[in-house]
Amino acid sequence: MKEKLELLIKQYITLKDLRRTFSFVKPFIRKQWKAYLFIILLLGLDIYLTIAFAKFFGELTDSAIHGGYKQIFSFIPYGGLLIALSIFSSVCYTYCETFATNGVKMDMKNHLFHHVLRLPAGDVSNYRSGELMSHFSNDIHGVDGVIGSNLISLIRLPIIYIVVFIYLANINLTLCLISLIVAPIVAISGVVFGLLLRKNGRLIHSLIGNINGLLSETFHGFQVIRSFTLEKLHYQKYVKQNKELLELELYNAKLRSWYNTGGQIIGSITFMVNLSIGALFVSNGELTVGALLTFLNLVNHLFYPITGFAGLWAGFQRSVAALERVLDILEKLPDIKELPSYSRTIQDVDSIEFDDVTFSYGNNNVLDKFDLNIPTGKMIALVGPTGAGKSTLFTLLQGFYKPQSGEIRLSGKSLKEFSASELRSSIAHVPQDTFLFAGTIRDNLLLARPDVTEKQMVEAAISAEIHDFILSLPKGYDTQIGENGIKLSGGQKQRIAIARAIIKDAPILLLDEATSALDGETEFHVKEALEELMKGRTTIVIAHRLSTIQNADIILVMNNGKIVQRGTHNELINQNGLYRKLNKASYNSKKGSPLALVSKS
Ligand SMILES: Nc1ncnc2c1ncn2[C@@H]1O[C@H](COP(=O)(O)OP(=O)(O)OP(=O)(O)O)[C@@H](O)[C@H]1O
């Protein structure tokens, strides 16, 4: 029991998380300091108006009792001024608060996106894309509880409390002290409810992340869902998670309504007690009716700052629950400083060198003291069973992952000395799975190099054997291709990816099964285009169909993260090794990818 309590205190009552949240939001708030300063000035006006209105009604009542019409009319201009000031204050406050909070949120979202774009590939791969999106669409809005009216209340409530207390104590100290008796009950219940809300808020935000993950996976994997008839299963999962969410939201609403109702009950009791005792004072002649009215008008300002503080606490706790998910990501260190963009810095690459490179994904050791020297301008083919580490060489070369030890060098210079922009602009990569952006074919081709001309783009499309197909579409290069090029066939997508690589015109070319989705005839033509493209460039090709790499200058046979054979096709085929085995399997297989069938030697 004691341990449980300690854990609860550690988990929820510690101020560490609040401090963590505030130190995160501080710089963003500072950026909007003008709007916040104006809000503080408006607070001064608001406090003055609160007292002035209550005093006004009290004096008006006394005049009504003791004076006459004339005296009442003399109050009208002052009342009009108070109303005008109140409207001005309210309009300006709404505008400034919206400006400040939305400005802070916009900056935070930009910061989060900037951060996520620079995170190491290994960190990003641990998140589901829907969950990441949920941080932007849902969690970041949790910050409202810290930067909006809650933050302003943090300044407003103590000031209004002190001002009203002094003012009311002047009217009647006894009544004033009676109103304070309930303060501790309100404060304690606020803390407890705040903690319960935070615990629940945490569950809600995590569940919303899961629901977004499920939706995003469903829409991305629509074809798999249809072919494996997973519609019912996914629907049931979605319904179940939504039901859980509803239950949590209801619990949340229940907590809040209990808390608000409790507050209202305590408020009403305090009001009634004040009214009864105040009436006694009026009958004794210690108070005028107007002074009692002023008192009753203001007494809730003695009460609600305490409920307000408890509410603030609850609001902060809810925000902390949402923001701690965002902070967990923001506290991961990016491995690059600037966002990469296209750069033309590297012109030629003399050599590519892997020197004693050891690399593992977590506990999965892929390369162990790996050495490789690739001379410039040659075509190198990587072959080997599935999982041998071929694609890993590509990801390391592009700097997506860093080796745990050893060095990778381009033209004798360590990769660490290149910026991500320089490095990745020097490499054109055609991956196994082509990813195309929703938009037009032109958009997808031009993203390879922003400065390319229309003529160069069309030439690249001709070389990749895709130009005629593009022209056959109703809007040609301006045809929309849908998310991830859903309106195109696998072969068409692959040819666009090849055209994109041609446009990039980079000194290093990485082809990962780049022609696997093409039919024999198209492959023949595309291969010609690729051979043209390879001239003068260093090309590394990963191939499962060995027929595609027989002309390679050097073939490297990889197995279990090591190079087990190297040579030309003719040399390797005459050796009794893995290459001959793979080659045999390749020709025996009628379908595209026989190497998956070969057991690791
Ligand atoms: N992002 C990743 N995170 C964790 N492990 C990974 C990741 N990518 C690959 N691996 C693991 O690393 C090992 C090597 O994978 P890699 O993709 O380099 O092999 P490959 O030779 O290219 O295989 P294939 O021919 O099937 O594409 C495999 O065991 C794989 O499970």
What is this structure's pTM? 0.78
pLDDT reported for residue 38: 92
**CATH architecture for segment(s) 2-330:** Up-down Bundle (1.20)
pLDDT reported for residue 12: 54
Determine the distance separating the centroid of ligand 1 and the alpha carbon of 392, expressed in angstroms: 6
pLDDT reported for residue 549: 80
Which amino acid would we find at residue 274?
A: N
pLDDT reported for residue 16: 73
Determine the distance separating the centroid of ligand 1 and the alpha carbon of 42, expressed in angstroms: 60
ipTM: 0.96
CA 78 to chain centre: 52
Beta partners for 374?
352
Residues of the chain with pLDDT under 70: 1-2, 4-15, 67, 182, 307, 310, 345-347, 516-518, 521, 525, 586-601
Task: Give the model confidence (pLDDT) of 428-452 as tens digits.
Answer: 988 888 888 888 999 899 988 878 8
d(CA 586, CA 579): 10
Determine the distance separating the centroid of ligand 1 and the alpha carbon of 430, expressed in angstroms: 17
Question: Does an H or E element contain 145, and which?
Answer: helix 144-147
3-class state of residue 359 by DSSP: strand
pLDDT reported for residue 442: 92
Where are the domains positioned within the chain?
2-330
Instruction: Please name which of 194, 163, 438, 450 lies closest in space to residue 307, comparing C-alpha atoms.
Output: 194
Test site for ligand 1: of 119, 391, 430, most ligand atoms within 8 A of the Cβ = 391
Test site for ligand 1: of 124, 125, 363, 386, most ligand atoms within 8 A of the Cβ = 386
Determine the distance separating the centroid of ligand 1 and the alpha carbon of 364, expressed in angstroms: 9
Test site for ligand 1: of 364, 370, 394, most ligand atoms within 8 A of the Cβ = 364
Name the token pair of 434.
């082509």
Task: Give the model confidence (pLDDT) of 160-193 as tens digits.
Answer: 888 888 888 888 888 788 777 767 777 777 777 7
Determine the distance separating the centroid of ligand 1 and the alpha carbon of 543, expressed in angstroms: 15
Name the token pair of 299.
């007494």
Note whether 355 and 413 are within 8 A (CB): no
pLDDT reported for residue 152: 81
